[in-house]
Amino acid sequence: MSRGPALGAPALSDPLSRERHRILHAVQDRLEEVAKTAVAVMRTEIPSYALQDERFFDDVRDQVLTHYRMQLAALAGGRDIAPEDLVFSRAAAMRRARAGFALEDWISAFRVGRQVLWDVLLDCAGTSAEAQQAALSLVTPLMRYVDFASTHAAQAYVEYQQHVVADADRERRDLLDQLLAGAAPARGPLLAAAQAYGIGPHSPMMAVVAVCVDDTRTGDLTSAEHGYATSASIGIAGPWAGRTLVVVRHGEVVAVPVVRTGMDAEDICSHFEAVQRRLAREGTMLSMGISTVAEGAGELPRAYEEARAALDLVPSGGGVAALPRLSPFDYLALRADDLARQLVDPRVRALLEDDRRRGDTLAATVRAFAEADLNLRLAADRLRIHHNTAHYRLRRIEERTGRNPRRIADLLELLVALAIRDGAGEGGDHQ
C-alpha cells in the first residue's frame, strides 16, 4: 500500500512558522473539549448516531481524539502518515459496518470532525494577518489527512460488505443444495437460515428456475449482472409476507417460494410472472419454469426437475411456463415432438395456418365450442356472434379438413392440433 499524505509544514518564514506552532499547541490544550464538541455535533447531525447509547459515544470520542492527536502530531513534527497508522480507524469502520451503519454516516462523521477541528484552529489563530496566513497553511494537509483516512474507512466498509455478501451467498447455496437433496436442515446455521425463509421439513414449497435469454441493453447473456439483478427482483416480497430463498447457480436463478397460509399456487405464479414482465420492460428477457407444489423438503427435488422441464415449454423469446396452470392435455401437447407435429393431418395444419393469418376466428370457435360442451348457441353467445355465423364456421372447418367438430374424436383431434401449433410457438401467448 502506498504511503500516506505529507502533513508537515511547508517552507514558511520564521514568524509564520512560530504562529503555526502556536496555533497547534493552543488546539492541543483544548483537544478534550474539541473532541467532546465534535461528538455532540455528530449526535445532532447524523440521525443513526442520535439513536445510540453512551457506550457507543465513548467509542466515537476515543476515535475522534486519536485522529486529532495524530493530525496535530504530524502537523507539528513534519512527518507523513502511513497506512499502518490508521489500523485503529479501519477497526472502528468494521465495527460500524457490523453494527449496520451506512457508509455515508461514517463519512459524515469524518466531515463533522474535520469541520469542528478547523473552526477551533481558526479560533485559536486569532485575527492578525500572520496568524490567518499560518492557519491557511494548515488547510491542505488537513484535507489530505481526511481524504486519506476516509478512503481507508471506505475500503474497510467494502471489505466487510463483500465478506458478508460472500457468506450469505455461500449459506444460501448450501441451504439450497441440502433442500435439493431432499432434506431440510435439522440443526446449526442452515436451520436458522431455513427458518428465516419460512422453510421447514413439511412446508409446502414450489421451485422456480429462471435463465436469461436476451438482454436488449448489453447483448451479453453471460454477465453475472443478469443473475443478481434477477435474484434481487425475485427476492422482493410479492403479495405475501416473508422472504424467498433465491440462489444464483450454474447459469440459472433458482427460487424456492413457500406457499404460506392464505396463499395458493396461483399466487406464486402471478408473482413470478410479474417479475418476468418487469425485467422484460427493463431490458432483460427471462425464461421461467415454475413447478407444482412440493409438500415438504422431501418432494423439492421433484419440483426442481419439474421447473427445469417447464423451461422447455417456454418459447425461444422468453416467457413463463407455470405447470400449475396447465392441464395434463396442455402439458402433453406442449411436450409434443416433431413426429407428433408430422402426424397432424396436412389439411388440418393448412387450415390452422391460414386461420392464424386471418385472425384465428376458426380456432376461437373450436375452443369456444369445446368449452361450451358442444352447445353451439352458448359458444356463439360467448364469442358474441350470431348462431348462424358459428354454424357456418363449423361447416367450413368440416369442409376443409374432413373433421366434424360435433364428433368427439374429430373435435379432440382439432384441439390437439391447435395445442401442438401453439406449443411450437406458432401463435398465442403461452405464459
Map 269-327 to HEC letters.
HHHHHHHHHHHHHCCEEEEEEECCCEECHHHHHHHHHHHHHHHCCCCCCCEEEEHHHCC
- Are 75 and 149 in a shared domain? yes
- Are 134 and 248 in a shared domain? no
- Are 198 and 288 in a shared domain? yes
- Are 51 and 135 in a shared domain? yes
**What's the pLDDT at 171?**
85
Q: Which of 205, 194, 325 is nearest to 255 (CA)?
A: 205
pLDDT tens digit string along 123-155?
999 889 888 898 888 888 888 888 888 887 777
Are 324 and 293 contacting, i.e. CB atoms less than 8 angstroms apart? yes
- Are 321 and 347 in a shared domain? no
**What's the pLDDT at 10?**
57
The model's pTM:
0.52
- Does 225 map to a domain? yes
- Does 127 map to a domain? yes
pLDDT tens digit string along 357-400?
989 899 899 989 988 999 999 999 999 999 899 999 999 999 99
- Are 297 and 396 in a shared domain? no
**What's the pLDDT at 429?**
43
- Does 176 map to a domain? no
**What's the pLDDT at 217?**
44
**What's the pLDDT at 102?**
82
Last residue of one domain, picked from the residues 296, 326, 356: 326
- Are 194 and 289 in a shared domain? yes
- CATH number of the domain enclosing 109: 1.10.490.20
**What's the pLDDT at 22?**
92
Are 286 and 229 contacting, i.e. CB atoms less than 8 angstroms apart? no
- CATH number of the domain enclosing 307: 3.30.70.270
Count Cα atoms within 13 angstroms, Cβ side, for 214.
Answer: 12
**What's the pLDDT at 428?**
39
- Are 264 and 284 in a shared domain? yes
- Are 346 and 243 in a shared domain? no
Calculate ∠ Cα 376-377-378, nearest 5°: 90
- Are 196 and 306 in a shared domain? yes
**What's the pLDDT at 219?**
44
Q: Please tell me the total count of domains within the chain.
A: 3
For residue 341, what is its C-alpha cell?
A: 407435429
> Which residues, in sequence order, are CB contacts of 333 under 8 Å at separation 6+?
416, 419, 420, 422, 423
Are 232 and 284 contacting, i.e. CB atoms less than 8 angstroms apart? no
- Are 396 and 414 in a shared domain? yes
Measure the CA–CA gap between 290 and 323, rounded to whole angstroms.
6
For residue 195, what is its C-alpha cell?
A: 427458518
Measure the CA–CA gap between 326 and 329, rounded to whole angstroms.
8
- Parts of the chain with a pLDDT under 70: 1-11, 78-79, 161-168, 214-242, 329-337, 340, 423-431
- Are 18 and 155 in a shared domain? yes
Measure the CA–CA gap between 322 and 290, rounded to whole angstroms.
5
Residue 306 belongs to domain spanning: 189-326
For residue 291, what is its C-alpha cell?
A: 413447478
Calculate ∠ Cα 24-28-30, nearest 5°: 120
- Does 304 map to a domain? yes
Report phi then psi at 285, rounded to 5.
Answer: -95, 125
> Which residues, in sequence order, are CB contacts of 387 under 8 Å at separation 6+?
376, 377, 380
- Does 2 map to a domain? no
